[in-house]
C-alpha cells in the first residue's frame, strides 16, 4: 500500500468525541441506481472531509465510468491495477490501492475495464462476495471505506452492498427524485436476506438542493416526511464549484475550501462520523411502502418506469 508520508496505521486522529479510531473500518456503500444524483460527488467529498478530520479513508470506485478515480486526480491510463483486477484477477488489495493528493485519503481506482466485470463476474465463484473478501484484508487499515456504486442494481452494486454494513443514499432534489427508490429498498432486502444480514439502511442525503426553487423544498419536505431523521440534517447545495472540482482532480475541500459545497460536505462528515449504526434492519417495512409512499404524488414515475431498467437485476441467491 502506498505511503503518504504519515504512514499506514498512523492515524492523525483528531477524533470526534476524542475516542480512538473505530477500526476496523466502517464500510458504507453510496448507492442509488439512478445516475447523476450525486453518488460520486458525495463519495469523493465526504471521504475528503472525513480525511480532513484525521480519519483514514478509502474510496472504492466501483463504477466503470471511473468518475471517482479521475475526480481524485488519478490518471486511469497510468494504473497498473484497479478494482477490475481486484474482482476478477484476484490481485492483492494492497497492490490496487493508490494514495491521493489528500492526506489520509486513499483510492481503489476503477478503469473502463470494469465495464466487462458485470458480465465476467457471472461465472465467478462467490461472485457477489468478491469485494467483501477483497476488503477484509485492508479493513484494519482504515476508519472508513466508502464504496461509490455504479448507476445500476447489477452485480457490481450487489458486490458493493454485500461488502458494506450500511448504505448511504443520495437523493437529488429534482423532479422524479424518488423514482426507483422502492426498487433499491427491495434490493437491499434481498441482499440482506441472502448475502449480508448485517446490511442496514444508513443515511439519506439530499443533494443539489437549490433553495430558490419550490421543487427543492418540496422534495426535501417529502423525503423528510417519509424517512424522518434518517435524512441528514445538512443538505448539499447545488453549486457550480462542486461540479468544477472533479475536472481539476480535487475534492471540493481542496479545490475551494471555503465554498458552500466544502462546508456542506464537512457538516455531513460530522453527521455521519459519530453515528452509531442506527439503520433499519429487516422488517422495517420501508421497502413495502414503495411506490405508494414517497413520490407517489408529483414526483412519482409514470407506471412502468420504475423497474423497467434492464440494469435492475435482482441479486442472485
Which parts of this chain interact with Mg ion (CB under 5 A)? 39-40, 67
C-alpha cell at 166: 450500511
Shortest Cβ 113–ligand ADP spacing (Å): 19
Which partner, ligand ADP, Mg ion, none, binds residue 183 by CB below 5 to 8 Å per kind? none
Distance between CA atoms of residues 73 and 69, nearest Å? 7
C-alpha cell at 286: 420501508
Distance between CA atoms of residues 297 and 120, nearest Å? 40
Residue 95 and residue 134 in contact, taking contact as beta carbons nearer than 8 Å: no
Shortest Cβ 246–Mg ion spacing (Å): 10
Site string for ligand ADP, 193-222 (x = CB under 6 A): --------------xx--------------
Q: Which is nearer to ligand ADP, 166 or 174 (CB)?
A: 174
Q: Which is nearer to ligand ADP, 46 or 138 (CB)?
A: 46
Shortest Cβ 40–ligand ADP spacing (Å): 3
The neighbour count for residue 85, using CB atoms within 10 Å, is: 19
Nearest to 53 by CA among 296, 247, 269: 269
Instruction: Report the DSSP beta bridge partners of residue 201.
Output: 167, 280
Say whether residue 266 binds ligand ADP (CB under 6 A).
no
DSSP 229: G
Which partner, Mg ion, ligand ADP, none, binds residue 207 by CB below 5 to 8 Å per kind? ligand ADP
Kindly write down the DSSP assignment for every residue of 76-121, as one continuous string: GGG-S--HHHHHHS---GGGT-EE-SSTTEEEE---TTHHHHHHHG
Q: Which is nearer to ligand ADP, 188 or 242 (CB)?
A: 242
Shortest Cβ 32–ligand ADP spacing (Å): 6
Contact pick of 35, 274, 281, 282 for ligand ADP (by CB under 6 A): 35
**Segment contacting ligand ADP by CB under 6 A, of 7-15, 35-43, 193-201, 211-219:** 35-43
| Binding residue count for ligand ADP, defined by CB under 6 A | 17
Phi then psi for residue 158, to 5 deg, are -60, -40
Site string for ligand ADP, 36-55 (x = CB under 6 A): xxxxxx--------------
Nearest to 40 by CA among 80, 67, 17, 13: 67
Q: Which residues bind ligand ADP (CB under 6 A)?
A: 35-41, 67, 151, 207-208, 236, 238-239, 242-243, 246
Amino acid at each position: 500500500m502506498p505511503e503518504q508520508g504519515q504512514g499506514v496505521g498512523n492515524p492523525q486522529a483528531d477524533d470526534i468525541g476524542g475516542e480512538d479510531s473505530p477500526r476496523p473500518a466502517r464500510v458504507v456503500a453510496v448507492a442509488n441506481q439512478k445516475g447523476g444524483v450525486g453518488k460520486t460527488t458525495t463519495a469523493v467529498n465526504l471521504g475528503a472531509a472525513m480525511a480532513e478530520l484525521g480519519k483514514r479513508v478509502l474510496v472504492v470506485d466501483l463504477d466503470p465510468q471511473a468518475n471517482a478515480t479521475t475526480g481524485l486526480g488519478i490518471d486511469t491510463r497510468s494504473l497498473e491495477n484497479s478494482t477490475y483486477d481486484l474482482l476478477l484477477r484476484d490481485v492483492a488489495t494492497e497492490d490496487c490501492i493508490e494514495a491521493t493528493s489528500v492526506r489520509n485519503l486513499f483510492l481503489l481506482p476503477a478503469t473502463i475495464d470494469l465495464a466487462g466485470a458485470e458480465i465476467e463476474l457471472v461465472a465467478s465463484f462467490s461472485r457477489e462476495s468478491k469485494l467483501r473478501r477483497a476488503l477484509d484484508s485492508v479493513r484494519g487499515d482504515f476508519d472508513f471505506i466508502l464504496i461509490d456504486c455504479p448507476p445500476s442494481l447489477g452485480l457490481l452494486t450487489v458486490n458493493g452492498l454485500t461488502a458494506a454494513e450500511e448504505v448511504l443514499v443520495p437523493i437529488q432534489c429534482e423532479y422524479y427524485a424518488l423514482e426507483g427508490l422502492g426498487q433499491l429498498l427491495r434490493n437491499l432486502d434481498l441482499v440482506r436476506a441472502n448475502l449480508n444480514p448485517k446490511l442496514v439502511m444508513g443515511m439519506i442525503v439530499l443533494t443539489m438542493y437549490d433553495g430558490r426553487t419550490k421543487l427543492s423544498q418540496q422534495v426535501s419536505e417529502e423525503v423528510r416526511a417519509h424517512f424522518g431523521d434518517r435524512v441528514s440534517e445538512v443538505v448539499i447545495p447545488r453549486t457550480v464549484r462542486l461540479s468544477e472540482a472533479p475536472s481539476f482532480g480535487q475534492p471540493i475541500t481542496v479545490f475551494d475550501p471555503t465554498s458552500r459545497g466544502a462546508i456542506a460536505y464537512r457538516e455531513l462528515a460530522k453527521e455521519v462520523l459519530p453515528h452509531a449504526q442506527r439503520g433499519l434492519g429487516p422488517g422495517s417495512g420501508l421497502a413495502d411502502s414503495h411506490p405508494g409512499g414517497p413520490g407517489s404524488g408529483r414526483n412519482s414515475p409514470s407506471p412502468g418506469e420504475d423497474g423497467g431498467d434492464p440494469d435492475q437485476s435482482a441479486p442472485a441467491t
